Amino acid sequence: MTRLETLISLNMVPEIGSIRLGKLLKYFGKAENILKAPGEKLMVVSGIGQNIADKIHSLKKEDLDKEFTLAKKYGLKIMTFEDKDYPENLKNIYDPPIVLYIKGELKVEDKFSLGVVGSRRASYYGLNSAEKFAYELSEKGFTIVSGMARGIDTYAHKGALKQGGRTIAVMGSGFSYLYPAENKKLAEEIAQNGAVISEFPCEARPLPQNFPQRNRVISGLSLGILVVEAARNSGALITADFALEQGREVFALPGKVDSNTSFGTNGLIKQGAKLVSCVEDVLEEFNLSVSTKETAKEEKPNVLKPELVNAESNLYNLILKQPISLDEIVENTNMSIPVISDLLLRLQMRKLVRQLPGKQFIRNEHVPKNE
């Protein structure tokens, strides 16, 4: 059995997850050794009890063959967290999914993603706002990430699609049980203009416990989360909590104080979330003013506060046509790593610089020489 097959098999045990898998790999060295290990050996590893050990031993080759057959049927690519093209934002969270099932395509540019989430039972104001913000953020070059649920999620995806931008839907079920069923056509449109993804095996049903797990992926893929509407116990608030844990920005759209679906967003603002009334409020938090796709080739916007313009220019001049590592950049500047990382993010956002494997950076070959 190959390493890919082994990881897909282990992912079919819901209780394992990336944290327990990491412990198993540390103890056994190779993923293949985990499947061969006797129960008493498995249970030596912290967090692996009799129940999980029994489920590992119950994995069958026929189940794996069926999984590959279903993936082929649905036109899915299967990626593991060890693959080089695994989404960088997601790889850096505490517990990245072991496996991603992908219909469509994930691209490097999806690193610049914003999550737009909210209530399933949204008001007209909420639905209209979700579509409008997703449209305008997409116009500025962001990929829109959401959960393809009814309400805000659906309209966020539609806003990005209407603009002609990229959008990613993260499911809380396997592809055999696309949920909600009425979004089947929407899922096809998203796959043609981005990707529909799931960490769950194909035949996983949309169980309630899957959706909080799904929400950490929405925030994990994104630089920040915009909560449009959320009731007191909304799942969107869980996504916001994950975003905070993962070091992402949290934005919230204010609503009427007597509206149930505004309780959560107004509460987030009280707790320090960025109040958003227009798309510029989101860009401002990243110190960005990204050109629209129509004008990006004609304009070179100033994306920095005045005091940082020189720092950005100096950093850009340091990065040439030969790759330079982050350590070398630190050695050749008087700036801290957080400041350098912030400036590099902005340069990448403007497509002036691109990142290579191993945290190396190089000038974008498509940038005109006079820039």
**Residue position matching structure tokens 């691109």:** 354
What 3-state DSSP class applies to 253? coil
The answer to whether the CB of 95 falls within 8 A of the CB of 216 is: yes
**Which domains does the chain possess?**
3-59 (1.10.150.20), 102-285 (3.40.50.450), 306-363 (1.10.10.10)
Q: How far apart are CA 260 and CA 231, in angstroms?
A: 6
Cα–Cα distance list, 99 to 12, 48, 81, 199, 277 (Å): 10, 20, 6, 5, 37
**What's the DSSP call for residue 29?**
S
What 3-state DSSP class applies to 272? coil
pLDDT value of position 312: 78
For the cut 90, the answer to whether the pLDDT of residue 364 exceeds it is no
User: Beta strand 353-356 with 324-325: parallel, antiparallel or unpaired?
Assistant: unpaired
Which of 140, 2, 136 has the alpha carbon at shortest distance from 64? 2
- Give tens-digit pLDDT for 100-137: 999 999 998 999 999 999 999 999 999 999 999 999 99
pLDDT value of position 153: 97
Instruction: Characterise 134 by phi-psi region: left (phi > 0), alpha (psi -120 to 50), beta (else).
Output: alpha
- Give tens-digit pLDDT for 299-346: 333 333 444 457 777 888 888 878 888 888 888 887 877 778 778 877
